[in-house]
Amino acid sequence: MIPTDSIFLLEKPEEEIQIDLPEYYKEGFFSKDSLFHPELEGGRYGSVGDPVPYSVRGDDVITSLLLVFFVLAVIAYSNIRGFFSRQAKNFFHQPHEGVTSMTETATEARFQVFIVFLTGLMFATLYYFYSLHYNGDSYILSSQYYLILIVWAIFLLYFLVKMGLYTVVNLVFFDGKRNRQWIKSLLFIIALEGLLSVPAVIMGPYFDLSIHKVEIYFAIMLILAKLMTFYKCFIIFFRQNVVGLQIILYLCALEIVPLLALWEILDVTANNLKINF
């Protein structure tokens, strides 16, 4: 029997049938359950687990970036391996006054500058790992990868300022030939630093090498680079006129002070970008 409050409208055969059912036919215990209504959001069942901690080895972006590093470094070193081997062979030799200095092709000069960019990017990646360990990954940046770009720009500015200071000071006190020899040696040392930093970048996050061992390795590499800088500076500029105080002041003003300023700038930048709770 059809309920009395139901209305059937069938005026014409071609028109649709409109049926009004009572409210107790429409409502039910399961009427609003998401299992019976796919259009409704059912939500999440169960308890929320602990999130997986961030790991560099599981970061596809960093892994892809390191692979690009490796490919670009191989390409760069393959194009300047001749000039690089000549610099390494003659680095500890004393240049004679009448001997023409080594010349490089335009391609070698471009790839030397490119290696400086790669070295800065390698140092920026190392500082990114260092910052993740001590500061965490909470930054005001929309993406934490922007920190690598910012630190990379700081390192490139550091290399540019240091070379500019060396050029200005050396042109005042020394001739252009010695200045060119020094710039080539400085580019070689920077390229060597980038090459030696590859094991620290790879072994730290991917071989569970502790951050303290990476810091020790990087400190040894930095000390070695500064000793090579000290030796080459002595050979080129101060071999004939040995003035101990002069070379110490020279290297302190153009090596130690810019390095300390660089570390302070990196520390201030990281602290300003970090979210402080």
Confidence of residue 53 (pLDDT cuts 50, 70, 90): low
The proportion of the chain whose per-residue pLDDT surpasses 70, expressed as a percent, equals: 71
The predicted-structure confidence for 155-194, as pLDDT tens digits, reads as follows 999 999 888 888 888 887 777 777 888 888 888 888 888 8
For residues 64 and 137, is the Cβ–Cβ distance under 8 A?
no
- pLDDT value at residue 157: 93
* 85, pLDDT greater than 90: no
- Reduced to 3 states (helix: H, G, I; strand: E, B; else coil), residue 276 is coil
pTM above 0.85, yes or no: no
DSSP code per residue over 45-108: -S---PPPPP-GGG-HHHHHHHHHHHHHHHHHHHHSHHHHHHHHHHTTSPPPTTSPPP---HHH
How is residue 21 written in tokens?
Answer: 């059912």
Q: Which segment of 23-27, 153-157, 231-235 scores lowest on mean pLDDT?
A: 23-27
- pLDDT value at residue 201: 85
The predicted-structure confidence for 107-132, as pLDDT tens digits, reads as follows 777 777 888 888 898 899 889 888 88
* 139, pLDDT greater than 70: yes
